Amino acid sequence: MKNKLSFRSLFILLMALGLLPGALTAKDVTLLNVSYDPTRELYEDFNKAFAKHWEAKTGEKLSVKQSHGGSGKQARGVIDGLQADVVTLALAYDIDAIAERGKSLPKDWQKRLPNNSSPYTSTIVFLVRKGNPKGIKDWNDLIKPGVSVITPNPKTSGGARWNYLAAYGYELKRTGDAAKARDFLKALFKNVPVLDTGARGATTTFVQRGIGDVLIAWENEAILAIKELGKGEFELVAPSISILAEPPVTVVDRVVKKRGTEVVAKAYLDYLYTEAGQEIAAIHYYRPRLESVAAKHASSFPSIKLLTIDGDFGGWAAAHAAHFSEGAVFDQIYQSGK
């Protein structure tokens, strides 16, 4: 009788061995949060708090890695394969790009969490040097000759797009004329001597390199500069009109499914909406969504009339097509302005 070796037995043996990687790779959980430029300090604190919370809840040790850069640049990184479990970017358009071009999450991702998946908000303000030597009070002061304005590149920075749209919205509201609003931006960018790729780079240019008379900045970044980067050297100026910036967050489905981090990644983002998460956001000068926390920190944030991306610009897709896509308004006014 032949002692034949069954192919089925071999298959079962190899499949059994195939289960080994899971057993051998069992280890502490890690997440990668790919975020935009100025959120470094926010997520350093938030990650520690959430890791503590997660370990208490599940017993798992969690390590959250952070990656920061211009929001558009970060989105391109994720589309190109950066293994982000979660993205916490400056604007929804960048996450839409990940959904559409990277096919990494559903197109309706923004409906998955409350408040359009924006757990905190911010706005755009001015940071000027002590004593406000150029007397800057509102957007129209930024186009005056001799005023040097620092703002990053809207092609790479989400914050810069908010800056741009706030300026454009101001002039459009004031004149009701799109052509004049466009000329206004052209004049403004003529006063911009350096275009950084991200908001943190622009802060460095203004605060540490001493360049420019005014920095158009995220409110949280401006307050951070005043309170921590250069105490007594800068002042915040709230313009008459600004824009409601809603930095969104989401899980990158393709990555978490592959890495088996779906549950912890979702819990990570949910924790941003809790009182503890909202408190951390407020401490880092982001406007909390939760009423109780917002009320507690109301005095930290100036009252400004705020435009909205949906109400005043027709949403991010329309705003991007009109202003930031190849050959759109920004390309025209920046090239011709130089």
Partner 1 sequence: MQFKQTILPAVLVGSLSAATSLFADEAAETAKELRKQIQELDQKVRILERKSEIDKEAATEKSRTAASVSARAGGFSIRSADTNFVLKLRGYIQADSRFFADDHVGGTANDTFLLRRVRPIIEGTVFEKYDFRLMLDFGSGVTASAANNSYVQDAYVTARFLPQFQIQAGKFKEPVDLERLQSGANLLFVERGYPTQLAPNRDVGVQVQGDFGGAAGSSLISYAVGAFNGVADGGSGDIETADDEKDIAARLFSHPFKNLDVDALRELGLGIAGTYGDQDGSVRSYTSIGQQRFFGYRSSATPATAANVVANGIHWRVAPQGYYYYGPFGLFAEYIVSEQDVQQAGAGTGAGTIASLRHTAWTVAASFFLTGEENSFKAVTPRNAFQPASGGWGAWEVAARVGGLDIDDDAFPVFANSATSATSAFSWGLGLNWHLNRNVKVNLNYDQTDFKGGAATDLLAKGEKAIFTRAQISF
Compute the distance between CA of residue 118 and CA of residue 78 in angstroms, rounded to an integer. Answer: 19
194 binds partner 1 (CB under 8 A): yes
Instruction: Enumerate residues 136-165 that contact partner 1 by CB under 8 A.
Output: 148
Give me 298's structure tokens: 């109301």
Q: Given candidates 79, 147, 211, 236, which one binds partner 1 under the rule CB under 8 A? A: 211
Residue 288 parent element (H or E):
strand 287-288
Compute the distance between CA of residue 336 and CA of residue 332 in angstroms, rounded to an integer. Answer: 6
Q: Given candidates 158, 201, 248, 288, which one binds partner 1 under the rule CB under 8 A? A: 201
Q: Given candidates 107, 180, 209, 227, which one binds partner 1 under the rule CB under 8 A? A: 209
Instruction: Enumerate residues 65-84 that contact partner 1 by CB under 8 A.
Output: 81
24 binds partner 1 (CB under 8 A): yes
Q: Where do the H-state alpha helices sit in 59-119? A: 71-79, 92-101, 114-117
Q: Rounded to 5 degrees, what are φ and ψ at 180?
A: -70, -35
Contacts of 215 (CB under 8 A, 6+ apart): 126, 127, 128, 149, 150, 151, 202, 203, 205, 206, 207, 222, 225
20 binds partner 1 (CB under 8 A): yes
Q: Given candidates 196, 221, 253, 279, which one binds partner 1 under the rule CB under 8 A? A: 196
Total residues in contact with partner 1, by rule CB under 8 A: 25
**Angle formed at CA 272 by CA 270 and CA 273, multiple of 5 degrees:** 70
25 binds partner 1 (CB under 8 A): yes
26 binds partner 1 (CB under 8 A): no
Q: Cα Rg for the chain, rounded, in angstroms?
A: 23
Of the pair 229, 306, the CB lying nearest partner 1 is at 229
15 binds partner 1 (CB under 8 A): no
Q: Given candidates 17, 26, 56, 179, which one binds partner 1 under the rule CB under 8 A? A: 17
Report the amino acid identity of residue 107.
Answer: K
**Least separation in angstroms between CB 250 and partner 1:** 23
Q: Is 120 helix (H, G, I), strand (E, B) or coil?
A: strand
Q: Given candidates 30, 99, 174, 205, which one binds partner 1 under the rule CB under 8 A? A: 205
Contacts with partner 1 by CB under 8 A lie at 2-5, 7, 10-11, 14, 17-18, 20-21, 24-25, 81, 148, 193-194, 196-197, 201, 205, 209-211
